[in-house]
Structure 1
């Protein structure tokens, strides 16, 4: 049994049936438990709902956890290893969507899109204090620091450069590219916009301190919320130390009502959907289908992490 644990849109369901065959994949809502299918599941198509060690131990036929995306921090990898369950991801399938979302968040913060949209809908488009326009700006002429230089950052860099930005980056080691490499601390201190493109690991958790960034800078996060000290981010946005932030990911998801970020006019927020486009889903399901075929045929799996 192949199970998709998600809340798929009609288009997503249609793509699943088209790629896997009608009725081949069992759908379980992301808010529901997998306990009812634990005895029979052989392959799990995983999106965001955590895959726990207890579930893995309760699923005797489970052979594959296929992440529809890149980050595997929501999967109990040690338990998968212990029970002989392969874990695979799919680097590159969502890179275009994530790069475009990062760019759109930069633009939305720089041009204060949400602020002016709300006023315009209230019929107050030209009534804001003129000083509000002093905090808008352009990408051109700014230094954009990319933290991580994987697939999404590589797609984003030439677009930013074409718009007139200076692009710098940090990674585990310098790359043979036309952009300047910087250590993280220097990148944070000198960049006007910082965009995160690294996985969440023990080493990267909490590694981005907003107060280590340049005063008046913008933070964009389409990677993982736990990369950033959220309490210090809220403080940096509230006090005006940072000009703004564009956030698609958070320490707690979904972002709960009452979180201070929700009331900040200089924060543009999205519910972890940077990766989620119909185009990405088709690419992702095609990789997942191929790995399910390989699993059944006893062949080597694509992008195996565990």
Structure 2
């Protein structure tokens, strides 16, 4: 009997075809939105491939008696019940490192434009307002301090790209051993509050967890330098969205770019609606044409290795 793979969200077509050459594949990018059909498809599935929207939990997997692997097209695992999967001996396979370059470009690129302050000037220029005097005080990124909250594979790639344009890198990551070679390229902060005080740009690269929920709250936003900016490509719920809105409206924070939200899609009329100096994107920091190819190819390879006969 051919091993069977169910893919519930979008995946690079070349990687899908690679899997189809060897396995029976059900590929439906909208399957995540059809729970009854998804549950039925999983009844005789050996592997499941998802992105961040599919909630891989006991309720979903109860009828998936043959399942041996879950591939994650990305790195965040907060939508996957890892403890339950472990209890069933189901391997959970994230695409570690495959989208790090895309996230790094997003973070450094947005840090640059937020510090310059011209990101939202198009409408004024088109209307003939010509806000040149106000925008002439924008700041260069070279010589600034980037604070990375989380210094794993993605945070390290962000730091590497930032250093190439003259940025000094601080990082907070109590899980990364002090002897790790990555610390040669960044100053280690033992306390996260010290990082918030020192950085011109704070970028978040930690998973969502009970410990990290509300990590960036009103108090920590208040520690940031006048003129500092915040970038969140990690997970929603790590930043208190209402507190962020207040900091931006008051001018205490110069700007922010947010790619992830406590509720996705971000509902209309949220605390972040109409907030000045705020750039919002729909959870795409790690998703580019190239990164989708890399992530998909990596997960296809790893899942195939698990499913092939020993």
Name the CA shift for 1:243/1:149 in 2 (closer, same or farther; >3 Å).
same
In 2, Cα distance between the equivalents of 1:23 and 1:298? 12
Name the CA shift for 1:78/1:159 in 2 (closer, same or farther; >3 Å).
closer
Q: Does 1:36 align with 2:36?
A: no
Deviations 1:46-95 (A, max 9, x none): 10112232001122222111111111111122322233322121211111
For 2:120, what is the secondary structure of its paired residue? Answer: helix
The aligned residue for residue 96 of structure 1 is 101
Which stretches of structure 1, 4 residues or more, deviate above 4 A after TM superposition? 128-131
Query: May I ask how many residue pairs the two structures share in their alignment?
Result: 293
From 230, 235, 248, the equivalent of 1:237 is 248
Unaligned runs of 5+ in 2: none
**What TM-score comes out, normalization by structure 2 length?**
0.86
Name the CA shift for 1:83/1:19 in 2 (closer, same or farther; >3 Å).
closer
Q: Does 1:177 align with 2:184?
A: yes
For 2:59, what is the secondary structure of its paired residue? Answer: helix
Task: Decide whether the 8 Å contact of 1:66 with 1:288 is kept in 2.
Answer: yes
The aligned residue for residue 302 of structure 1 is none
What's the C-alpha RMSD, in Å, of the aligned pairs?
2.3
**What TM-score comes out, normalization by structure 1 length?**
0.87
In 1, Cα distance between the equivalents of 2:289 and 2:163? 27
Unaligned runs of 5+ in 1: 300-306
In 1, Cα distance between the equivalents of 2:204 and 2:123? 27
In 2, Cα distance between the equivalents of 1:22 and 1:108? 46
The aligned residue for residue 304 of structure 1 is none
User: In the TM superposition, what are the counterparts of 1:198-277 in structure 2 within 5 Å?
Assistant: 198-209=206-217, 210-277=221-288
Q: Does 1:47 align with 2:51?
A: yes
Name the CA shift for 1:22/1:264 in 2 (closer, same or farther; >3 Å).
farther
User: In the TM superposition, what are the counterparts of 1:1-306 in structure 2 within 5 Å?
Assistant: 1-7=4-10, 12-18=12-18, 20-21=20-21, 24-28=24-28, 29=30, 30-33=32-35, 34-49=38-53, 50-120=55-125, 123-124=126-127, 126-130=128-132, 132-133=134-135, 136-172=138-174, 173-174=177-178, 175=180, 176-182=183-189, 183-209=191-217, 210-297=221-308
In 1, Cα distance between the equivalents of 2:265 and 2:243? 20
Task: Decide whether the 8 Å contact of 1:19 with 1:285 is kept in 2.
Answer: no
